[in-house]
Amino acid sequence: MQGDAAGQQAGAHDSEWLLTDELRDDDPMDRPHEACGLFGIYAPDMDVARVTFFGLYALQHRGQESAGIVTTTGDPDLREHRRIGLVSQVFNEDSLRGLTGFAAIGHTRYSTTGSNRQENVQPLLADGTLGQFAIGHNGNLTNTLTLHARLMDEGEILGATSDTEVIARMLAIAPGLTYVDKLRHVMPRLQGAYSLVILTPTELIAARDPFGVRPLCLGQINGHWVVASETCALDTVGAEFTREVEPGEVVVINGDGAEGLRSYQGQRSVKRATCLFEYIYFARPDSVMMDRSLYLARQRMGMQLAAEYPVDADVVIGVPDSATPAAAGYAAARGLPYADGLIKNRYIGRTFIQPDQQMRSLGVKMKFNALSAVLKGKRVVMIDDSIVRGTTSRPLVQSLRDAGATEVHLGISSPPFKWPCYLGLDVARRDELIAARLADVADIGREIGADSIHYLSLDGLVKAIDLPGDSFCVGCFTGTYPMPVQMDLADKLALEPTRVRADAEQPLAGASL
């Protein structure tokens, strides 16, 4: 294996303090945390590592904890560089120069099972019956503990603490003369959500769970094949979208053009259940999923919200940036002026520096500043895409009042978030979800401090996306999931060292939960 083991050991020393801050809520935004971003390319005449870097850069919104790239030259040993940090922090010219080869996969991560530790940074490398391979995973398994225990009983040694390692070890020891054989053996044993990119010394492989919960698509650049979580990454590297990887499909790429791609059924799909939050919030608005522009879908969510919530107002604003399309759609449908009432500091990302009490009390002001020139003396409709705990909505509403707004009405372009996600998004426990804690929407409005509040109905949301309602997972809204789930925070941390797990389950003093 060619790589940088010394650097990995050095980085691992810092991972525990990164874990505790990350899981404890270093980011005051009241949002579900991201999934992960996947990228892969098979292009013998291109700098595949550099293309993968820019593909991951376009997918940075899907995960900001760690990033990695693995390449192949055809030798038995793969080349890799993986670190904790943002894509721009993990890679430089020297690291990319060492990642030679004709194919590559990359991953940018937010941890949903397994903490932010160096050994969990993906793509993970594994040695199996067919040699060495690397794997990147977007999603979350719901039977990780059962599979982990079974592997341990079989004598497997597992050094990481993520469900991705469980998938990797199952693939490594699965019977079969090809990786398609192995995947067909493993996929029916995996419960939950998974989109996968796999790199062997000779092939690039993509696979998607039979529900298609997390996105994965195919494109071409100069006749070469590219795999990515979202079409925005294809656009960034100059590739043209071809199609989605279908639910339950396995795609094997070992050449260019039609002859270089082969499609197999890894597991039969009986029901599609794509995550609705990809359409509401997670995916970039310039991406396309299931032939739907996410920007236009979000704009239609705002228009549908306007039909359901025609409150008297003078101006419409959106919470930047994710709610901007919905706010614009709401304003257009109502014939109201749209304005930028909240200015976002675009250079604030996640930080591991703890603020003092005075800075902590400012909270949302570190991210947003209300513009009194727009708001003073106005009845304001503020559009947001979701409320999880309400910890951001309260200070945002207050900041509008402090800026001179006479009334603040809150429109949410999704239904009430009442249930946790177990399939690749990281959100609060159910007892922390404001819509689960307060069944009456009016009570939510009073707690937040808004003059009125309205959530977009589930029927309205599906109508705005313009796809059949049974195409989606609606578990976070209804509590009905497309597969069995019996997980909570303790399950997700169960594989962690005892001290780290205990630390992660304790909130920081003064942190808003």
**Structure-token match 């005051």, residue found:** 28
Are 162 and 111 within 8 A, CB to CB? yes
Give the phi and the psi of residue 25 in degrees, each rounded to 5.
100, 60
Tally of residues, the chain: 513
Cα angle 205, 43, 179 (rounded to 5 degrees) comes to 20
36 noted as active-site residue: yes
Return the exposure string of 2-30: e unless at least 16 CB atoms fall within 10 Å of the residue's CB, then b. Answer: ebbeeebeebeeebbebbbbbbbbbbbbb
Select from 38, 4, 423 the least CA-distant residue to 198: 38
Are 454 and 309 within 8 A, CB to CB? yes
**Structure-token match 């603040």, residue found:** 408
* Residue 183, SS3 per DSSP: helix
Cα angle 305, 311, 313 (rounded to 5 degrees) comes to 115
Q: How far apart are CA 173 and CA 158, in angstroms?
A: 13
Select from 155, 458, 154 the least CA-distant residue to 308: 458
Collect all residues with Cβ–Cβ distance below 8 Å to 505 and sequence separation of at least 6: 489, 490, 493
Alpha-carbon distance values, 226 to 99, 146, 181, 201, 223 (Å)? 17, 34, 23, 17, 10
Alpha-carbon distance values, 245 to 147, 221, 230, 241, 427 (Å)? 26, 17, 11, 11, 27
Active site residue: 36, 232, 275, 421, which one?
Answer: 36
Q: How far apart are CA 164 and CA 354, in angstroms?
A: 30
> What is residue 424's DSSP assignment?
S
State in Å, rounded, how far the first CA of the chain is from the last one: 43
As beta bridge partners, residue 135 has: 124, 198
Q: 10 Å Cβ neighbour count for 312?
A: 11
Q: What positions carry a catalytic annotation?
A: 36
